[in-house]
Chains A and B, each alone.
Chain A
Amino acid sequence: MRAIWFVSQIAFFGLIASRMINVTAVADYFRYYVGGLSVMTLYSAAIFIGFDIYEEAEHGVFEYLLSLPVSRQQLVLGRSIGGGIRSFIYVGPLIAISLYVMGGLNPIAFLISLFALFLFSFGVSGMSITIAVMIKSSDRFDIFMGVLDALIVRLSTAMYPLAVVQAANPAYGGIAAFNPVSFAADLFRWGTGIPTIITLDNPLWPVLGIVAFFGFFTLFGVVIYGKRIEGGSWR
């Protein structure tokens, strides 16, 4: 379903919308949009680990995982990385389509951006796990993630350049400039050879931003997992 959605977004929305949009900061909105769409899809796939947590709670797999001879840190890191890799496997073919559509590659830049996308994916998984164990209700989690998805993706540079967001509202621009989705989308575009439309001048900043995002949610996840996962009351 995700693949059909992805392809239709490119084939219909991307193509049609790019004919409407004429922004000086973006030479080719279609290619810009395809890069952003890949990151949005990766984000939504990585979020799914949180729903797995509820399934594990329902089937009592938590107790088993928590009783294994591994530390809580290893467990959370394993879940985050596992969720990240899984989402990459799901989205990998779609990223391949994006690369085909977006064209030219700078191998080193592309490897850096791919590495950043991996970290982004692990970070989103860690965030999803953290929020899931904090909320402990699958219905509330579903609603919360829907709202978060709407905000974090819309207030990013996944679909529009930072200059345009800032022009619309400086506050929106502030959020978009420090949004992990923006970092990932811009790095992916930069890695695929569209440096002219990168949001931030120096690609190091989005790389550091993603590392910080991954690090924060992994560490926070470890703390929250240890404190919140026991004691039941999962719904």
Chain B
Amino acid sequence: MQNLTKKFGNIAAVDHLDLDVEEGEILGLLGPNGAGKTTVILMLATVIKPTEGTATVGNYDIRKQPDKVRGLLGIGFQEPKMLWVATPWDVVNWHAKVCGLSTSDRKQRVKDVLSAVEMWDARHKGVHNLSGGMRKRVEMAKVLIQRPKIAIVDEPTAQIDIVGKHRIWNMLLELRDEGSTIILATNELYEADQLSDRVGILHKGKLLVCDTPKKLKDSIVGGDLMDIQLEKDAPPKLIEELKGMKEVVDLMQVKPTSIRLYLNKVEEIVPKIMTLFSNREVPITSVRMSEPSLDDVFAHYTGLTIEEAQKDKE
């Protein structure tokens, strides 16, 4: 994506977005509702045209060769798109037909995919009688039956129970392992963290940062917390030594026997801290570690939690 921009009137839904998606990766686009995720997806899918800039999908430009681009993509929409056809079987079968699957392949694949999303038993139910979660599963079935080179899924597990979420996550991972590149738009931090090889944080149409979840978490200065409980009061000299370590961003003595450390590069510094306590013969009763979440990362880059950003948008 190069300088990709979409304006609706004077409002920039997507604002000069530059982003590369690596082949075979899952790229999470994380942001609250209204951040511009769906608009990015619709532009990539050639459903809407960019106001400025462009994107290359495969080797095809979305402005110049939209038909070729669509041939590479499979999209699971945020709101399941049910057609005038009546049942999950019809929806998936029709989709497969339009995507060019032969009649003989189609019959078996529709069965396999509907079974995989546990919709085979409900295949003849009217789509308007399906629950939100069931509709989402039919939407996912459309992507799975297509086995596209590039799959784009927009909030694939919204309205789905936790068991269903895990099932869909596994399907997405399998799709990636089979060679598909996946763009996952989500406002669920845990989902982005669990599935994404890299996460791009979108806020008000702008890409704030994009990196692996680990690097994003590490990018928060002092983001890792270490709470240490001691048997006896902490010696002042030890406190000074801890403060002198460059990876210790801050130190708070909550109680005489309780220390909270804000750390960088936690993997490197924790053994050094433990060695220091051992060498100074200061007995420890408990240690509790906590690393930053993507919510902390989001808050770090936007100054808001994702819920606050959502309310701010509303």
Contacts and interface: CB of A to CB of B under 8 A. Distances in A.
A61 B77 CA distance: 10
A12 interface: no
A214 to B, nearest CB: 23
A67 B75 contact: yes
A61 to B, nearest CB: 5
Interface in B28-78: 42, 45-49, 67, 70-71, 73, 75, 77
Nearest to B142: A64
A103 interface: no
A63 B84 contact: no
B98 A64 contact: no
Given A60-B77, A61-B83, A64-B81, A69 B70 contact: yes
B47 A230 contact: yes
Interface in A61-78: 61-64, 66-71
Tell me the dominant secondary structure on chain B's binding face: loop
A231 B48 contact: yes
Given A67-B70, A69-B98, A70-B98, A60 B81 contact: yes
Contact of A63 (B47, B73, B82): B47
B77 A68 contact: no
A182 to B, nearest CB: 32
B223 to A, nearest CB: 38
B99 A52 contact: no
Given A59-B81, A63-B42, A68 B98 contact: yes
Please tell me the size bucket of the interface on A: 10 to 19
Contact of A59 (B48, B67, B82): B82
B77 A64 contact: yes
Given A59-B81, A60-B77, A67 B98 contact: no
B235 to A, nearest CB: 65
B79 interface: yes
Contacts of A232: 8
B70 A68 contact: yes
Contacts of A231: 8, 48
Interface in A27-65: 52, 59-64
* Residue among A60, A67, A70, A231 having the largest count of chain B Cβ atoms under 10 Å: A67
B67 A71 contact: yes
B100 interface: yes
A99 to B, nearest CB: 30
A233 B75 CA distance: 23
B99 A60 contact: no
Nearest to A230: B48
- Among B45, B47, B49, B77, chain A packs the most CB atoms within 10 A around the CB of B47
A67 B83 contact: no
Contacts of B98: 68-70
A66 B73 CA distance: 12
Interface in A91-150: none
A67 B48 contact: no
A69 B47 contact: no
A230 B81 contact: no
Contacts of A70: 67, 70, 98
Interface string B74-97: 010101011110000000000100
B263 to A, nearest CB: 46
Contacts of B49: 230
A68 B91 CA distance: 13
Given A60-B77, A71-B67, A66 B83 contact: no
A158 to B, nearest CB: 30
Contacts of A64: 75, 77, 81, 83
A177 to B, nearest CB: 38
Contact of A60 (B45, B79, B84): B79
Contacts of A62: 47
Contact of B100 (A60, A66, A67, A69): A69
Contacts of B42: 63
Contacts of A63: 42, 45, 47, 77, 81
Contacts of A52: 84
A63 B70 CA distance: 12
Given A52-B84, A231-B8, A232-B8, A67 B79 contact: no
A15 to B, nearest CB: 38
A68 B99 CA distance: 7
6 contacts: A60-B77, A63-B47, A64-B81, A67-B45, A68-B95, A69-B100
Please give me the 7 A-B residue pairs with the lowest Cβ-Cβ distance, nearest first.
Answer: A64-B81, A67-B45, A230-B48, A66-B47, A69-B71, A69-B70, A71-B67
Given A60-B81, A64-B83, 12 more contacts: A59-B82, A60-B77, A61-B81, A66-B45, A66-B46, A67-B46, A68-B98, A68-B99, A70-B98, A230-B48, A231-B48, A232-B8
